[in-house]
Amino acid sequence: MRGVLFVKFSNMTVSSPQARALAGELSVSAVRLARRLRGRHADPNITLSQLSALSTLVREGAMTPGALAGREGVQPPSMTRVIASLSARNLVDRRPHPTDGRQIIVAASASGLALIADEAKASEVWLTQWLAKLSAEELALLGQAVGIMGQLVERPIPRAG
Amino acid sequence: MRGVLFVKFSNMTVSSPQARALAGELSVSAVRLARRLRGRHADPNITLSQLSALSTLVREGAMTPGALAGREGVQPPSMTRVIASLSARNLVDRRPHPTDGRQIIVAASASGLALIADEAKASEVWLTQWLAKLSAEELALLGQAVGIMGQLVERPIPRAG
DNA sequence: TATTGTTATACTCTATAACTATA
DNA sequence: TATAGTTATAGAGTATAACAATA
């Protein structure tokens, strides 16, 4: 057991003080962790936004810019810029849509696939150094939390009051 | 049990395939969650970076800009801008250092304290709507994961590669 | 007329390098 | 000379509004 890791939240309900604290800390923790992990990759020149979009293309296959923007939770103009930067580095290909002249299809290129594979390999390097002090249980917890975070991202958020 | 939430990571070690996948997903999950939560606050005009710095000042007390930059994991010039924006909204006060004329002391103002309190209250609103579908166990898991994320942020990261 | 993608514009976050004031 | 903070500058991420091409 280390520090505050095992603070008991077992009796937490959605309106409990602990749940409220979680809500406040969740945003701040996410931005701090993203800040901390930015640039810590096999290729430090690729940004997390680019990596996120590219990994979605690899995982879910080719799609239109609009669809990718939807999957990533950004507006279409933002995705246009991300795709442009990926395309400039030949990590994605842009193909015309087979039936709709307005749309295009964005697909990970061979280089893009290779980059994602490299990232997966390189992850192990810093993982062993950085996460080595976490116990198997803590790693398991973090793995499950990442799954929950992924589900949360999929869920619509109500406007704050 | 919902979807992939309860995938078993119990046998995960630092060099297992699951751990590698976690390392790759952790960065992307953090940036997506931060993106998702940006602007979802009681005061939608305050940014997550500002909120993060202000909450640190509230939690840990007044400190110098350099110390705050260190706590937040950003460079001093970045913190200068965050402090300037907080100061422009009267959320922090800047006082001269008692003994060292080069330094200043930044402290949360009464308004800053009130804003953090408001955020905590408002969190409950969207929490109940957004996280309502999570079970008590999943909330507990997420709460513990936030704790681990906080500890990870404190830990030095080796260069990738 | 509606939809898709892009361009124009603006603001925030962040960094490095250079500068100012004080120790 | 060294340190703390700021200013200058630059690049990435994001958004909204306006635009062009196609359906």
A161–B contact, CB cutoff 8 A: yes
A-chain residues near B136 (CB < 8 A): 10-13
B-proximal residues of A, 9-68, CB under 8 Å: 9-15, 18-38, 40-42, 44, 48-49, 51-52, 55
SS (H, E, C) chain A: CCCCCCCCCCCCCCCCHHHHHHHHHHHHHHHHHHHHHCCCCCCCCCCHHHHHHHHHHHHHCCECHHHHHHHHCCCHHHHHHHHHHHHHCCCEEEEECCCCCCCEEEEECHHHHHHHHHHHHHHHHHHHHHCCCCCHHHHHHHHHHHHHHHHHHHCCCCCCC
pLDDT tens per residue, chain B (161 residues)? 222 222 233 344 545 555 556 767 788 889 999 998 888 788 888 999 999 999 999 999 999 999 999 999 999 999 999 999 999 999 999 999 999 999 999 999 999 999 999 887 777 666 667 767 777 788 888 888 888 888 878 877 665 54
Length B77 CA → C16 C1' (Å): 10
